[in-house]
Amino acid sequence: MSFENKIALVTGGSSGIGFGIARHLLDEGAKVVVTGRDIAKLDKAVQALGPNASGLVVDFTKKTDIDALYQTIRRDAGRLDLVVANAGAGTILPLGEITEQQVDQTLGANVKGVIFTVQGALPLMPSGGAIVIIGSTASMNPPAGMSVYGASKAAVRALVRAWIQEIRGSGVRINVVSPGPVRTEGLDNFFPPEQADAAFASLAEQSMVGRIGVPQDIAHTVAFLASDAAAYINGVELFVDGGASQI
């Protein structure tokens, strides 16, 4: 599927799943704006992505940063055809150890950030545009210690159900892609080295296809939902986890 002459925004696109999505959209012909919080990492990502990529430093817990992002895109590109709301945050803390900082950071990035990402993008999007929000299987079945993160992703699902009604007739679709565990640098660094092999084997065992996800799995799904091939798909949450959440 081609995204020739399309302009895309991928938030949190300097690493991991977001970087994989940005690379795939570029391979399909899009011009892509990626965001990140670390300017050095962002510059490195943009260099790796090539001349049709550009980068902007944005903290999605701050509406002023999001507003500035869209002012820049309006000035430089004039429109957005595709928005992938991937930027987010999450830490593991069980009930009894949850902190105000964790709640503010997680809900700030995953709920507040998504709200203003979508709201700010809509005035720039023509009919036929698509928004894909990266959720998580934790929206339905959060592991122990991830209650706040899971709640933030469940909130996104509820938001989308309301939003597709509120923008009815705009020609813009909004869908959610909810990955299971995906092999990224962040996940690699999450487990202590002595536990990593066993942890990845356990995650692969939970998948009905016998392996852990990779960023390309998510990127291909996002591209499908953003394409004209999915023109009649709106408001869904599509789980991309090898079937683990369906049993």
Domains of the chain: 7-182+217-240 (3.40.50.720)
Q: 9 to each of 56, 75, 237, how far by Cα in Å?
A: 10, 14, 20
Residue 96 tokens read as: 């009894």
pLDDT in tens, the chain (247 residues): 789 999 999 999 999 999 999 999 999 999 999 999 999 999 999 999 999 999 999 999 999 999 999 999 999 999 999 999 999 998 889 999 999 999 999 999 999 999 999 999 999 999 999 999 999 999 998 888 999 999 999 999 999 999 999 999 999 999 999 999 998 887 777 777 887 788 888 888 889 999 999 999 999 999 999 999 999 999 999 999 999 999 8
Q: Are residues 211 and 109 in contact, defined by beta-carbon separation less than 8 angstroms?
A: no
CB-based contacts of 18, cutoff 8 Å, min separation 6: 10, 11, 12, 34, 84, 86, 87, 134
Q: pTM higher than 0.85, yes or no? A: yes
- Residues known to be catalytic: 149
CA distance 103 to 83: 25
Q: Is 85 helix (H, G, I), strand (E, B) or coil?
A: strand
In a 3-state reduction of DSSP, which class is residue 168? coil
